[in-house]
Amino acid sequence: MGRRAGFRLEPVLKVRRAAEQAAERAAAEADAAAREAGRRADEQAAALAARVPPPSAPAHVFLAAMVSSAAAAADVRAARATAQASAEQAGLLRARWTAAAQETRALEKLRERHLLALRAAELSAEERAVDDLVTRRHAVRSGENGEEEPWTG
């Protein structure tokens, strides 16, 4: 059959697969970080909601509790902002992963087409070889008695 032609873009496909895998890992890590940031924000919000100033405390204790609660509320807002930013970052990384996967799929389709074309060429070559063999056999038979025999398939 001869030397089988390789897919010239195979190195590019390997690089794209590696890039897709790296993007997948980055997206998974970003998703985990976003979930963790959201969990921490929820915990802080729950802790803030559970704070209740003492009912019959002196004014200075009540004031200290209110200042502490205000600081905790600021921490909750910051935690929620961090969780939101982490979720947005995770979304961007998922989009990069999707783009990398699409690039990989496009090259894989090209590779499949290449392999199909090679197989079609091999089949065509085999058919030509069989046709040549049948034609030679027919020519040899015709040459033995000097008459041409009709080909019957």
The region that residue 2 occupies, defined by phi over 0 for left and psi between -120 and 50 for alpha, beta otherwise, is: left
87, 38 contact by CB (below 8 A): yes
How many distinct structural domains can be found in the chain? Answer: 1
Higher pLDDT, 86 or 48: 86
Q: What does DSSP assign to residue 8?
A: T
User: Is there a domain that residue 77 lies in?
Assistant: yes
User: Is there a domain that residue 52 lies in?
Assistant: yes
Residue range of the domain that includes 87: 10-108
pTM: 0.65
Instruction: Give CA–CA dist 31/88, Å, rounded.
Output: 10
User: Is there a domain that residue 19 lies in?
Assistant: yes
User: pLDDT for 59-90, tens place per residue?
Assistant: 888 888 889 889 999 999 999 999 999 999 99
% the chain with pLDDT above 90? 61
Angle at 36 between CA 35 and CA 41, to 5 degrees: 100
pLDDT of residue 80: 95
User: Is there a domain that residue 144 lies in?
Assistant: no
> What kind and span of H or E run contains 59?
helix 59-145
User: Is there a domain that residue 62 lies in?
Assistant: yes
User: Is there a domain that residue 113 lies in?
Assistant: no
Where does the pLDDT of residue 1 fall: very low under 50, low under 70, confident under 90, or very high at 90 and above? very low
- Mean pLDDT for 42-57 is 85
